[in-house]
Structure 1
Amino acid sequence: MSSTMKPNNITDCPEDPFNPLATAIIQISCMLVIAHIFHLIFKPLGQPGPISQILAGLVLSPTLLSRINKVREFFIQDTSAFYYKIFDFISRVLFMFLFGLETDVTYLRLNFRVASTVALGGILMSIIFGISASIVFLKLLAIKINKVAFTIVVSILLANSASPVVMRVIDELKFDTAEVGRLAKSSSLINEISCVLVMAAYLVFSSSGMLGNAIWSIIVTIALVILNRYMARWFAMWNKKSKYVSNAQVLVILVFIVFVSLLIEGLGFSSILICFLLGMMFPREGKTTRTLFKKLTYSIHNFILPIYFGYMGFQFDASDLNTIQSAAFVLILVLSSFVAKLVGTMAATHHLKIPRIKAVLLGFILNLKGNYEYLIIHVNVNDRTWWSTKVHNLLLVVVVLNTLISGTIVAFIMKRKENYFAHKDTSLEQLSKECEFRMLACAYEPRHASGQLVLTAALSGSIAPYLIHLVELPKKRRKNTLMYNQLEDGGNFSDEEEYGGNDVLEINDAVDAFTIMSKIRIQQMKVVNNFANIYEDVCNTAEDLRVSMIMLPFHKHQRIDKQMENGKEGYRTTNQKILRHAPCSVGVFVHRDQTGIQQPIGYEKAQPVATLFFGGLDDREALAYSTRIASNTNINLTVIRFRPIEPSGKQPFDAPPNIDDVLMSLSISKSEYEKDIVFIEDFRLRYVTSGRVGYIEKYVNSGEETVEALREVRDMEFSLLIVGKGGRGRSPLTTGLSDWEECPELGTVGDLLASVDFNLKSSMLIIQQHRHHSDTEIVSS
């Protein structure tokens, strides 16, 4: 690396460590307090946290409070720079490693072409604008030496998207699970990695000996990736009876990462890409990863990143904008950045046929700065052979203004177009088979988690499963002195480990074993609340995660003697509340683990599964769910359709001439009947005619005949029965079935099948489709 590109040495310790350290701590404390005040003001306006944090730093910067001599002498000390550099380096290492851990590798792999096209469009246009602006400023600023380096830095400053800032803004605005949010995250990662590689390539070819350093950097990184995999496995084995690995073992992993990052920096390259790759390639399952998430997420999101964003604003110095030339320099670069990103991104999205409003949003999101830009700007500020201190400060102003303006505009667009970006895939019937199925599975106990894993294993295609552990808040903890953060999942408080007891360990072990066997990554969460209110947490989580279905465990479980036994009454009341208030479709799983469906993965033979179709929106939802398991080679699916017999005694056609008479006997709307016909016929054409799914029709004309037909289905010994909860109107097919109603949350048919008298051995999945407010309410039978 040339002398002009070497970062400042962070190993030179000041002689008096107390005063500058105290100054740094006080400055950080003031920054956090001011940021919190700003957040209280701007949050109701829809502004994300990073905007408030940057503004807090700006308040303390030389532009405002630090213009006062006494304040400036206290806050801006040369000896404090050492601590800021140390904090900046450690923070950067940790949050880039965490972002690598949090990266949705599956989505990135499946959508790499789309995300890379969006990123490349903005990069290419920014490079064009960057080179054009550099030609002007090389003459205007009279830069005589390292002109190529200056041009590359300006181009990267315009082209780069700071992925940590992008991810944090998206998370704060709660569209991280939306398609546009996930695409923005992936595009920003590809964007930043591309810029880092461009800069690394320039260093390799511009300095002698850098090629060897690059090779050593790659070797060291690969070695640590392999070592991390072994350490993750060893640490998990040493802590078999614990929920997490020890703090000392976590420290060992982090020390290795910091050490390698220091080594990479010493070799002349940025450690941003290395830290991210180490996190992305870290094992996704096991206690070690779960512990790293727990230890890093809270501290980084709530402490490190706010300070990092605050320090961005703190470096804003408006005193350098004292001439028309300086103001023009900043204005041209800011406008160039916006125009280049918008034009390049919109051109790419037009090619991909992405709607214009999403293209505009992506353009502004990808214009967020603040990570890699600071590293390339902060290369040896005092070396005037590259640029002057004033140019350095003006580039910092450009970065801060870009982030402030872009973040504000993104928040405004999300607030203004809230309905447009709202979650709309709230049921499976309207979701294309090719689209990702997002599912939130609930578990009160380890046996419930095992059942949910069985359902997950039966699914095929693109899925994004979440498992939420619902824990009752112990009565002894229901006191006024309980802190708010003690109810949060993952908070660093002393009695958090008490919640859930050994159930947490058993559920974690079951999920880890399932992940290793199926290669399906399940994201876990935990909610602690009393049963009266826990349904709100589930519904809010489902809305935030934009899932299409919530899976609930039935409040009864099968004993060793194969009889069903009641669980806690709180399970049942919570299920009933979720069914009433859920923002999406809901499934209730009656798991008979002794006689019903078993884990499909690794099972010796394919298990028979049947879907019962009577008609109505819930049965259509059940059939839509069945399409998600139809392609699973471990499942043999059969659809059993129950149909009425016409008054003449003839079996009806799909569209009989006397359809009005049939509808009158069924008491359902013509539109619902037509939807049933279209949906079932489409299913038959797709799956039955190809031989993938079996199809049986049973003709009945009363509740008694339906019961007899269901007894025949029972004797077929299916391992799982899937049925809709209701929504059929007052159908003669189910008349009288509710006379012995015991569990109305299962619907008429589901309640009958679950009754003790029916003696069913199969597991059952009862599905309720989400009722949109605009839909006409259909009374369940």
Structure 2
Amino acid sequence: MLAGIILGPNLFGRIIGKNMRVIFTVESQELVDTITHFGYLVFILLMGVKMDLNMVLLTGKNGLYTGVASLMMPLLLGLLGVVKLGAWWHLPQERKFALVNLVALQSITPFPIVSCLLDDLKILNSELGRLGLSSALINDVLSMFLHLITNLAIGGVGHGQLKQAAGKFVGVLVYLAFLVKVIRPAMNWIIRRTPEGRPVNNGYVYAIILYFVASTVIFQLAGISSFLAPFILGLAIPDGPPLGVSLVEKLDCFTSGVLLPLFITTRVMKANFSEINFSSDFLQVSSIITAIGIVAKFIGSMVPSLVLKLHKRDILALAFIMTSKGVVDLVAMSFVRDNKVLTNDVYSFVVAVILAIAIITPYGVKYFYDPSRKYAGYQRRNILHLKPNAELRIVATLHRPDNVAAILNLIDATCPTKERTVALYGLHLIELVGRASPVFISHRMQKRIFVKNSYSENIIVALNHYEQDNWGAVSANAYTAISPPKLMHEDICMLALNKLASLIVLPFHRKWSEDGSLESEDKKLRILNSSVLDRAPCSVGILVDRGYLGGSNSLVSSAESPLRVAMIFFGGNDDREALTLAKRMASGANITLEVIHITHISEKGISTWEKMYDSEVLKDVKNGSFGSRNVSYREEMVDDGPNTALVIRPMANEYDLIIVGRRQREESPQTMGLHEWSEFPELGVIGDLLTTTDIIGRFSVLVIQQQKV
């Protein structure tokens, strides 16, 4: 938009004057308009592909009411304003029809605009983001049908062509029936013929593109809006992998990166702000109607949330989201202007309004909505402050098949019993591709599985079997979250917050093979782990499985030799949290625990409150009064970091599971000099030391960070 303002008559055109026509010839403009118009049609097709109509069925009351209210209030008040102001200014009939078009376009909240805004603000899968998406989808779908009906009605009544308008309406209904009965089953047939994990055959993709072009041309020749055909076709194409993903991957990059920005620029170049003259009656009425529409939409978006008593700041943020404007609004206005419905001065004024709202809206949402506010630690949600026999609630994230075995073995190691139960919430994370709306599914609540993914089904089956095998001691629930990688931490933290979890377990981004050698690493997973550590509403554990826990489904419960666990203790919140978890493990008969307390040579007695807390947590282990013969304690004195490394390195071959506290940014004489060599700050100094490729061994490491308060 800014490029269009610079290149148009507002700036560049004023400098070069009449030479503007030499540089931007009529022929070149027609060619660019044709190419970019096709790009916008492809954008409309992809917009339909990315939409998930299941959201309309699954949206809650607030989303439904907000979507309807944000459309109907500006529409009704705007039409009332047209009637009253049109009579007051004595506007001719064609001007009133133009204002009705303006009101209709002002009332729409385009779904892709809201989706892009939320994605840019990184709140796409937050509670507010999901509410905004569902509200915008309701608004968009409802406005599409209203637009179709009113356009055909106005065309028939206004021009005395009732039979022609009725014929167009019937034609659209026939096209919808054809899509439902023929095209949609054909799309499902293509998906069934595509092997899982493989892309769709290019021939099928080209056939869909040809059908898209043909249907658009037919609609244009029939006198129906050419944008309707690609949008409805997009809705008929199943979103997500494999078909939706293949179409998006082939078309989205060039369309969104080249054709669409060029299309927007050429449309804004037609706006001339010097033509805006408020002495014109039509422009005066248009500006008042525009103001009524914006204010009515803002208030209409707030009313349902006020009735349902949402947080006041969230209500205002939602109102800004629903009032947002962008490319869809601009293009709609430009086509109305091309059809001589709006005058140049009104079009220029509306472009300025759209640009102003597009700039203001993100700042309004940011100011009123802070997604991290809900994670504030108003109460202790960690293992240290749990009551002795309280249920341990754990959220475990699952990315790869080997994560399942490692997590279940770790849960086994916590020794769940009917007296001390464990609630496991397994969250399968899938990257959002080929759809615009993030999806969060509870497989226990939602019987129908929307995710056609064998790995998801395997997770559900594995968790159900594990729950049955440990009936009464473990409750296991499976969830699936489909969202962008940079926003997945929202799903994890929200699930932990809602389930009052004490611990989130994250797999490390590196994968080791069973022989202990490094196999692969995922940088996106590392970024995700860091985001969760920063925002988590409870304690967090990063599980580094170097081929031991992930190698079997029953290491703890049926192993002939006991699971050898070590807890390396330096002191501090994270270490106390880690020791508390290790003590819980030590209550099992098939687990041996050794607590290694690493102290500095110069340490004498209890000198600070922190040392007193450490001594209190260590007391029962140190004095042998813990109540289990499988627990031992030893103290290692060191004078610096290198000596600490010499003590820790041999442990790789002595233990199966090593538990450490993260102790990020905690300086101590025992770790002096080790920070400079740390490769993965998310693991802390000791966790990083144990995961280095210099140490070869088949063992696992659990790095614990206590809840931040």
- Above 0.5 in TM-score? yes
Is the Cα–Cα contact under 8 Å of residues 345 and 363 in structure 1 kept in the other structure? Answer: yes
Counterpart code for 2:613: I
Match of 1:403 in 2: 354
1:185-584 → structure 2 map (5 Å cutoff)? 185-203=133-151, 205=153, 206=156, 207-222=165-180, 223-234=182-193, 236-237=194-195, 244-245=199-200, 247-270=202-225, 275-276=230-231, 278-279=233-234, 282-284=237-239, 286-324=241-279, 325-370=281-326, 373=329, 389=340, 391-414=342-365, 416=367, 420-422=370-372, 425=375, 449-452=400-403, 465-466=429-430, 512-515=453-456, 523=482, 551-553=506-508, 557=512, 559=514, 565-567=516-518, 582-584=533-535
Counterpart code for 2:210: V
User: Is structure 2 residue 29 aligned with structure 1 residue 80?
Assistant: yes
Match of 1:682 in 2: none
Partner Cα separation in structure 1 for residue 341 and residue 29 of structure 2: 21
Match of 1:8 in 2: none
CA distance 1:79–1:215, change in 2 (3 Å): same
User: Is structure 2 residue 6 aligned with structure 1 residue 59?
Assistant: yes
Is the Cα–Cα contact under 8 Å of residues 123 and 159 in structure 1 kept in the other structure? Answer: yes
TM-aligned CA deviation for residue 160 of structure 1: 0.7
Q: Secondary structure in 2 aligned to 1:565?
A: coil
Partner Cα separation in structure 1 for residue 174 and residue 528 of structure 2: 59
Match of 1:96 in 2: 44
Counterpart code for 1:368: S
Q: Secondary structure in 2 aligned to 1:465?
A: strand
CA distance 1:709–1:106, change in 2 (3 Å): farther
Of 47, 53, 71, which aligns to 2:20?
A: 71
Partner Cα separation in structure 1 for residue 208 and residue 102 of structure 2: 36
Please give the per-residue CA displacement for 1:161-217, whole angstroms capped at 9, x wherever unaligned.
122233223333333333323322332222122111111222455522233212212
1:4-153 → structure 2 map (5 Å cutoff)? 54-66=1-13, 68-72=17-21, 74-75=23-24, 77=26, 80-81=29-30, 83-88=32-37, 90-103=38-51, 110-139=58-87, 140=89, 142-144=91-93, 150=98, 152-153=100-101
TM-aligned CA deviation for residue 723 of structure 1: 11
Uncovered stretches (5+) of structure 1, i.e. residues with no partner: 1-53, 384-388, 432-436, 443-448, 469-488, 491-509, 526-537, 599-610, 626-638, 644-663, 674-698, 712-720, 729-742, 753-758, 776-781
Match of 1:184 in 2: 132
TM-aligned CA deviation for residue 461 of structure 1: 7.0
**How many residues in Structure 1 have an aligned counterpart in Structure 2?**
548
Counterpart code for 2:127: E
TM-score of the two chains, using structure 2 as the length reference: 0.60
Partner Cα separation in structure 1 for residue 284 and residue 148 of structure 2: 30
Counterpart code for 1:465: L
TM-aligned CA deviation for residue 57 of structure 1: 1.1
TM-aligned CA deviation for residue 71 of structure 1: 0.8
Counterpart code for 2:352: L
Is the Cα–Cα contact under 8 Å of residues 330 and 397 in structure 1 kept in the other structure? Answer: no
Partner Cα separation in structure 1 for residue 522 and residue 333 of structure 2: 57
TM-aligned CA deviation for residue 353 of structure 1: 2.1
Is the Cα–Cα contact under 8 Å of residues 285 and 516 in structure 1 kept in the other structure? Answer: no
Counterpart code for 2:301: T
Is the Cα–Cα contact under 8 Å of residues 109 and 324 in structure 2 kept in the other structure? Answer: yes
Is the Cα–Cα contact under 8 Å of residues 423 and 543 in structure 1 kept in the other structure? Answer: no
TM-aligned CA deviation for residue 130 of structure 1: 0.9
Is the Cα–Cα contact under 8 Å of residues 48 and 235 in structure 2 kept in the other structure? Answer: yes
Counterpart code for 1:157: L
TM-aligned CA deviation for residue 291 of structure 1: 3.2
Partner Cα separation in structure 1 for residue 139 and residue 380 of structure 2: 36
Partner Cα separation in structure 2 for residue 328 and residue 258 of structure 1: 41
Q: Secondary structure in 2 aligned to 1:368?
A: coil
Counterpart code for 1:94: V
TM-aligned CA deviation for residue 350 of structure 1: 0.9
Match of 1:49 in 2: none
Counterpart code for 2:5: L
Partner Cα separation in structure 1 for residue 3 and residue 291 of structure 2: 24
Is the Cα–Cα contact under 8 Å of residues 257 and 275 in structure 1 kept in the other structure? Answer: yes
Partner Cα separation in structure 2 for residue 103 and residue 620 of structure 1: 47
Match of 2:542 in 1: 587
CA distance 1:704–1:151, change in 2 (3 Å): same
Partner Cα separation in structure 2 for residue 200 and residue 299 of structure 1: 30
Partner Cα separation in structure 2 for residue 556 and residue 269 of structure 1: 55
Q: Secondary structure in 1 aligned to 2:292?
A: helix
TM-aligned CA deviation for residue 588 of structure 1: 1.0
TM-aligned CA deviation for residue 277 of structure 1: 5.5
Is the Cα–Cα contact under 8 Å of residues 63 and 319 in structure 1 kept in the other structure? Answer: yes
CA distance 1:274–1:666, change in 2 (3 Å): farther
CA distance 1:105–1:556, change in 2 (3 Å): same
Match of 2:600 in 1: none
User: Is structure 2 residue 613 aligned with structure 1 residue 668?
Assistant: yes
Percent identity over the alignment is 17
Partner Cα separation in structure 2 for residue 315 and residue 128 of structure 1: 30
TM-score of the two chains, using structure 1 as the length reference: 0.56
Is the Cα–Cα contact under 8 Å of residues 453 and 514 in structure 1 kept in the other structure? Answer: no
Counterpart code for 2:347: L
Q: C-alpha root-mean-square deviation of aligned residues, in Å?
A: 5.8
Q: Secondary structure in 2 aligned to 1:133?
A: helix
Match of 2:444 in 1: none
Q: Secondary structure in 2 aligned to 1:209?
A: helix
Is the Cα–Cα contact under 8 Å of residues 250 and 292 in structure 1 kept in the other structure? Answer: yes
CA distance 1:298–1:82, change in 2 (3 Å): closer
Partner Cα separation in structure 2 for residue 179 and residue 72 of structure 1: 51
CA distance 1:323–1:180, change in 2 (3 Å): same
Please give the per-residue CA displacement for 1:441-491, whole angstroms capped at 9, x wherever unaligned.
66xxxxxx22236689999879572469xxxxxxxxxxxxxxxxxxxx99x
TM-aligned CA deviation for residue 724 of structure 1: 7.5
Partner Cα separation in structure 2 for residue 82 and residue 141 of structure 1: 41
Match of 2:465 in 1: none
Please give the per-residue CA displacement for 1:685-742, whole angstroms capped at 9, x wherever unaligned.
xxxxxxxxxxxxxx9775796774479xxxxxxxxx99985489xxxxxxxxxxxxxx
Match of 1:17 in 2: none
TM-aligned CA deviation for residue 556 of structure 1: 7.0
